[in-house]
Structure 1
């Protein structure tokens, strides 16, 4: 086969920033970028949702010193407002021998066919994965594990902590909760480890990270002897999904209730498995109001100026917090604090953040390999139920 001349559309670079290397196939093919594509990337890099991916695409272009940018002088003379039309005209007027336009835009493919321009789709997409997804907390069998990482050794998970390797051959039972799979058991092991002050857990919805964190917090604050924990705080950023509900009347607790209803439901479920009377004001009431001397839910805005000591802090949906908010929150924590951070960087509701730029991802990026910190990606074959299983498996 002869050398090919590929001209890349914007969508191909965004769907897989590594496509340049793949299409070049060593030294076999030539890669060209229309000037209009650079203009589109320049606009898209300001989009908070995909700006991090666009940055990767631009980085790939800069690293490849052999690709050619089609003439900007010719592009500026093109009389067309539609970027696709401009890319098409740039390709047709490039003077390149037998160019092949690579695009996943069906309309642009049809337009290319009208002009008898060869066109191919690029299906090898490479979804972006954040640090909190890639750094799973598990080392490969042949690799030397980082501090506070697990490694599978002869089918057994072995934890490599500050005191050396420890095989996890036991199963936790915490506040009446038994793990549904081995990953939940390992997450509990991190949450209950006295040597680890800060734990973060990444997982898709339904794998039980909040339930496990609550069970661990109740155990540490209400049951475990010889520990400093006297209270549980749950901190949560408030970002509504869908249409806004507007201002809500009442106290802070009443304002927060629509956003943390699931927390109360999970706490009640744990209470039904094993009584946790001290965290409730009145367990005979259907409201199950929390006793704020033992269990308090706080919006992130109320943390500034506080000094948290001798407590368990659960930070839920940390992916919706900014780096600055996370730093402000974590620097409020004094002596005797166990902090459990939860989230999923694929479910960012904050319109000013993205999969890369969010609180959970920054914690993993900056704190990993610290002896008092551990992170893991929670997974398994079963989530909260068959419908959730089906959604996760099909990628809906």
Structure 2
């Protein structure tokens, strides 16, 4: 039975081509959605870009026919713009809120279409809850939602004999077939812990290079005098220090050292090895809790509160290094470090730089695509974030730019991912992260 899908504004703002993902069913766009898109079209952010792109797609469909009557899609479905029941809202819903007008559209369509099931599609949790209260089925847009098994960790454990582990250490590599593993069951730059299945319980850490499991290359490295304190941090350094890997994603809860490892490696690569011309650190402007309103001062002063976590990590590194090479104010003056908000990255091409994108869990799929496509020749991109702490109201653990990027690039030789688990900030921070 064909269904009627009513789209909320945030669906189109996250994915302007979402109207094409409902097969042969009918897609309804409430008039209130168009009004919200129109209000956002002038913004210079990704929301503004997606608003304009949504309008362009609808304009293209309008050339095929009248959107009020419905335009047929190649999939067999239709797209239609609907005024929400002559603006007659059900009792309890105020017309002053756009969300209520969108919900009202779904309610009236359900009353008028007994033969077709009406489904409200929204990434807004509260809107879905209100739909439930009025008896309208509501669901999250799932075309870009990752399933639990699709969340990539970048690590697996394999049991084997002690003799194979001895051979691995002697030859510094081993074929997956010797472990009864097929090559296509491992991904490039995926890490493996080999564990002996006898009483000795010998272990070895390896990285899959696309053909063989090989020994780690950077297990003794300490970029900017920052050393790995646990297994996952050691694996992270393997990816961060390898210049052949152009995209690294690091996820994990607060205090696992994601940002510190990335910045320390970037400083070492720029200052010591001179492998890159500059360290660029950026993060989205996404507040936790209530906003403070407009901040005084110039752009640099306004960005100060948002970028303070980056300066905290730089302070930690500077105190670990007594020489003046890593005094970040001098590096800033020499233009070897640049710290900025992601708002200004659109339209740029960033070559030959070590780029760290912090708090990437708050990025949408389109924002991640925008950032990655800015990377010029010779640049390396590092995305760090905690997918368990998302401040963006339209994203969650299964739908955010960080996890999506790790999933999409997990079979690429130029990319790698590690999920860090152990907190190293302090005993208090570790306990709080687990309990609260």
State the alpha-carbon separation in 2 of the partners of residues 327 and 255 from structure 1: 26
CA contact (8 A) 1:132 1:365 kept: no
Match of 1:241 among 288, 295, 306: 288
What SS class does the counterpart of residue 223 from structure 2 fall into?
Answer: coil
Partner of residue 135, structure 1: 152
CA contact (8 A) 1:234 1:296 kept: yes
List alignment gaps of at least 5 residues for structure 2.
1-109, 111-116, 136-144, 159-179, 196-202
Q: How far has the Cα of 1:261 moved from its partner?
A: 0.9
Partner of residue 161, structure 1: 209
State the alpha-carbon separation in 1 of the partners of residues 397 and 363 from structure 2: 12
Match of 1:189 among 228, 238, 241: 238
Partner of residue 46, structure 1: 122
**Deviations 1:45-69, CA, capped at 9 Å, x for gaps:** 5243599xx9xxxxxxxxxxxxxxx
What SS class does the counterpart of residue 214 from structure 1 fall into?
Answer: helix
Number of aligned positions between the proteins: 280
State the alpha-carbon separation in 1 of the partners of residues 248 and 189 from structure 2: 10
What SS class does the counterpart of residue 249 from structure 2 fall into?
Answer: strand
Partner of residue 303, structure 2: 256
**Deviations 1:233-286, CA, capped at 9 Å, x for gaps:** 01100111111111112222211110111211211221121245466335xxxx
Normalised TM-score (structure 1): 0.63
Partner of residue 374, structure 1: 416
1:265 correspondence with 2:341: no
Structure with more relative contact order (C-alpha pairs < 8 Å, separation 6 or more): 1
List alignment gaps of at least 5 residues for structure 1.
1-38, 55-80, 87-127, 283-288
Partner of residue 311, structure 1: 353
**Distance change >3 Å, CA 140–CA 276, structure 1 → 2:** same
Q: How far has the Cα of 1:338 moved from its partner?
A: 1.1
State the alpha-carbon separation in 2 of the partners of residues 50 and 345 from structure 1: 21
State the alpha-carbon separation in 1 of the partners of residues 326 and 131 from structure 2: 64
State the alpha-carbon separation in 1 of the partners of residues 152 and 264 from structure 2: 25
Match of 2:424 among 383, 393, 396: 383
**Distance change >3 Å, CA 83–CA 250, structure 1 → 2:** closer
* 1:263-342 correspondence runs (5 A): 263-274=310-321, 275=323, 277=325, 280-281=328-329, 290-291=332-333, 293-342=335-384
* 1:349-364 correspondence runs (5 A): 349-364=391-406
State the alpha-carbon separation in 2 of the partners of residues 83 and 333 from structure 1: 44
**Distance change >3 Å, CA 329–CA 83, structure 1 → 2:** closer
CA contact (8 A) 2:318 2:327 kept: no
Q: How far has the Cα of 1:391 moved from its partner?
A: 2.1
State the alpha-carbon separation in 2 of the partners of residues 215 and 193 from structure 1: 14
What SS class does the counterpart of residue 314 from structure 1 fall into?
Answer: strand
Q: How far has the Cα of 1:304 moved from its partner?
A: 1.4
State the alpha-carbon separation in 1 of the partners of residues 412 and 378 from structure 2: 18
Partner of residue 221, structure 1: 270
CA contact (8 A) 2:150 2:407 kept: no
Report the more deviating stretch, 193-202 or 41-50.
41-50
What SS class does the counterpart of residue 225 from structure 2 fall into?
Answer: coil
CA contact (8 A) 1:44 1:50 kept: no
Q: How far has the Cα of 1:328 moved from its partner?
A: 1.2
**Deviations 1:203-246, CA, capped at 9 Å, x for gaps:** 00010011101110011111115x3x010101100111111111
Q: How far has the Cα of 1:165 moved from its partner?
A: 2.3
What SS class does the counterpart of residue 267 from structure 1 fall into?
Answer: helix
State the alpha-carbon separation in 1 of the partners of residues 334 and 401 from structure 2: 26
What SS class does the counterpart of residue 270 from structure 1 fall into?
Answer: helix
CA contact (8 A) 1:201 1:209 kept: yes
Q: How far has the Cα of 1:189 moved from its partner?
A: 0.9
State the alpha-carbon separation in 1 of the partners of residues 327 and 354 from structure 2: 13
**Deviations 1:299-335, CA, capped at 9 Å, x for gaps:** 1111112110111000001111111111111111111
Match of 1:148 among 170, 189, 197: 189
Q: How far has the Cα of 1:160 moved from its partner?
A: 0.8
